[in-house]
Chains A and B, each alone.
Chain A
């Protein structure tokens, strides 16, 4: 599934479409890290508005990027996760580390 990358006001918006599982994270991880290296953004925003499914592999992907970005002084944000993804993010306590915008309920 293709992932959209966009720069907006110095922030790198990463919008993965489809399902994020262990199979997809291998590729996603490389793509996102490459884009972060290339554009050195002030902030990375994960936009999940087009993501239909995510399991714990997605949590690992987000937390791994968060760790690397924080080391470089880059902020990380999550946008539009929808109900299902919000549930899994909260279960793992990701919402305590990373701010989530546009949460359903």
Chain B
């Protein structure tokens, strides 16, 4: 069966911490028509929150003049893809950044759990980053209601 895009959404918002909640709400609204379970919804919200926070805090060092992009695609096979990208500083060593508890910002009480949470709460996580150019995080989650 060929997989088709059922819906797609793209947006850009300023790298302001108040937009972390905004990104969660918009993503939630986008997937609601596809009847996610309460748990799936919570997983997606948490994963999006982690990725957006990373873009703001690490990618842009909280420079609110910059923009974070979010793209969400719902496919006919029940999988949802959410992509969050910034044109910020980039990650020099992705493997190190993805290690649980690794953080470059312990003094601001960042735990280094962001990528671990994204990995645990979604089915697939892909991170592409270039120093000085930015980072793109793409997460895929399959919604159970489609698997019937």
Interface size on A, residues (CB 8 A): 20
Which one of A5-13, A40-48, A49-57, A73-81 is at the B interface?
Answer: A49-57
Q: How many residues of B contact A (CB 8 A)?
A: 23
Per the bound structure, the CA–CA distance linking A91 and B57 in Å amounts to 22
Say whether B111 contacts A23, CB under 8 Å.
no
Chain B nearest CB from A50 CB (Å) reads 16
**Chain A residue with Cβ nearest B57:** A22
Main secondary structure of the interface of B (DSSP, over half): helix
Total A-B residue contacts, Cβ distance less than 8 Å: 61
A63 to B111, CA, bound (A): 9
A88 located at the interface, meaning its Cβ lies under 8 Å from any Cβ of chain B in the complex: yes
Contact A59 B113 (CB under 8 A): yes
User: B49 near A21 (CB under 8 angstroms)?
Assistant: yes
Q: Is A19 an interface residue (CB 8 A)?
A: yes
Chain A facing B: main interface SS: helix
A63 cross-chain contacts in B, Cβ below 8 A: 109, 111
Interface residues of B in 45-99 (CB under 8 A from A): 45-46, 49-50, 53, 56-57
Known: A56-B111, A60-B109, A60-B110. A91 touches B120 (CB 8 A): yes
